[in-house]
Amino acid sequence: MSQSPILITGGAQRLGRHCAERLLDDGHPVILTYRREREALSALRARGAVTLAADFASEAGILDFIARLRDSTSSLRAIIHNAGEWLSDPEPEAAGATFERLFRVHMQAPYLINLHAKALLEACQEPQCDIVHITDSVVQRGAAGQAAYAATKAGLESLTRSFAAQFAPRIQVNAIAPGLVMLNDDDDGSREPGRRVPGPGVVYQTLRYLLDNDFVTGTVVPVDGGQHLA
Ligand SMILES: NC(=O)C1=CN([C@@H]2O[C@H](COP(=O)(O)OP(=O)(O)OC[C@H]3O[C@@H](n4cnc5c(N)ncnc54)[C@H](OP(=O)(O)O)[C@@H]3O)[C@@H](O)[C@H]2O)C=CC1
Ligand SMILES: Nc1nc2c(c(=O)[nH]1)N=C([C@H](O)[C@@H](O)CO)CN2
């Protein structure tokens, strides 16, 4: 039986790229989205990944991607909503635009893609099909200075539970809520003194667990070394 591809959004760098590469290692066909061309995409294409340009900053951009996704495959084994932006709250004059931008990528894109791509998941001939939302352990406690980021990730966490109920039993829907797992280029970690920064492998281990378990849905798995307890 030929395998249906796994879609991962934001697969051209960091967490998304690591998971795309590991999914390819594990024999899954992969479709990944990106916004701008770069060297990493050539390497992923050389391994057989299908790459689709997508910008989720507008509803039109989301719907345009969905149309091209449906032209590129007749089924999906899983959808991993990894795309996200880590923006701080700007001055009030710019706060509306920032909130809308984060709403689009963290909430509206997963919402519309899940609704429009449900039939692609149902067309999968494999025993299990999954949706995984990548949220953030910060949802539990909020984030001073990143209120819009935390709120839109909280919305994505809520969508996990709603879609899990709505799509059961054929499609499992879960979330992974990482803590700080990868530093940004301009982040020396000094704000997290002494905290271990494990790298993307801990997220892929959790993704692998969800993809391999046919009796887990509606859960949010914190991968944060206990940060959610703080
Ligand atoms: N790094 C960490 O420690 C943590 C990460 N997370 C979450 O894990 C996920 C991956 O994190 P990380 O790899 O660090 O994130 P990055 O910011 O490095 O990458 C996010 C990806 O999302 C894509 N993206 C961003 N905005 C848009 C948009 N408007 N439309 C389409 N694609 C978009 C980018 O695509 P492109 O590069 O092609 O522009 C990029 O590949 C994110 O959802 C993040 O919020 C949660 C907690 C901790
Ligand atoms: N899209 C992104 N989201 C997040 C990032 C990132 O780099 N890109 N980084 C974090 C960090 O863990 C931050 O919470 C602490 O440094 C969270 N989300």
Instruction: Indicate if ligand 2 lies below 6 Å from the C-beta of 224.
Output: no
Ligand 2: which of 136, 176, 192 to mutate, judged by most atoms within 8 Å of the beta carbon? 136
**What pLDDT is recorded for position 186?**
77
Mean pLDDT (10-residue bins), the chain, 230 residues: 93 98 98 97 98 98 98 98 98 98 99 98 98 97 97 98 98 98 80 82 98 98 89
Cα 167 to middle of ligand 2, angstroms: 29
Amino acid, single-letter form, for residue 97: A
- Ordered by start, the domain boundaries in the chain are 6-229
**What pLDDT is recorded for position 26?**
98
**What pLDDT is recorded for position 3?**
94
Instruction: Indicate if ligand 2 lies below 6 Å from the C-beta of 173.
Output: no
Compute and round to an integer the Cα radius of gyration of the chain: 17
Instruction: Indicate if ligand 1 lies below 6 Å from the C-beta of 54.
Output: yes
Conformation bin of residue 172: beta by default, left when phi > 0, alpha when psi is -120 to 50:
beta
Q: How far apart are CA 177 and CA 136, in angstroms?
A: 4
Rounded to two decimals, the pTM is 0.97
**What pLDDT is recorded for position 195?**
80
**What pLDDT is recorded for position 1?**
67
Protein residue with its CA nearest to atom 11 in ligand 2: 180
ipTM above 0.95, yes or no: yes
CATH topology of domain 6-229: Rossmann fold (3.40.50)
**What pLDDT is recorded for position 230?**
76
Instruction: Indicate if ligand 1 lies below 6 Å from the C-beta of 178.
Output: yes
Across 14-161, the runs of DSSP E, i.e. the strands, are: 30-34, 50-53, 78-81, 129-134
**Catalytic residues, which ones?**
149
Cα 93 to middle of ligand 1, angstroms: 25
Instruction: Indicate if ligand 1 lies below 6 Å from the C-beta of 171.
Output: no
CA 60 vs. chain centroid, Å, equals 20
Instruction: Provide CB contacts within 8 A for 24, sequence distance 6+.
Output: 30, 44, 47, 48, 49
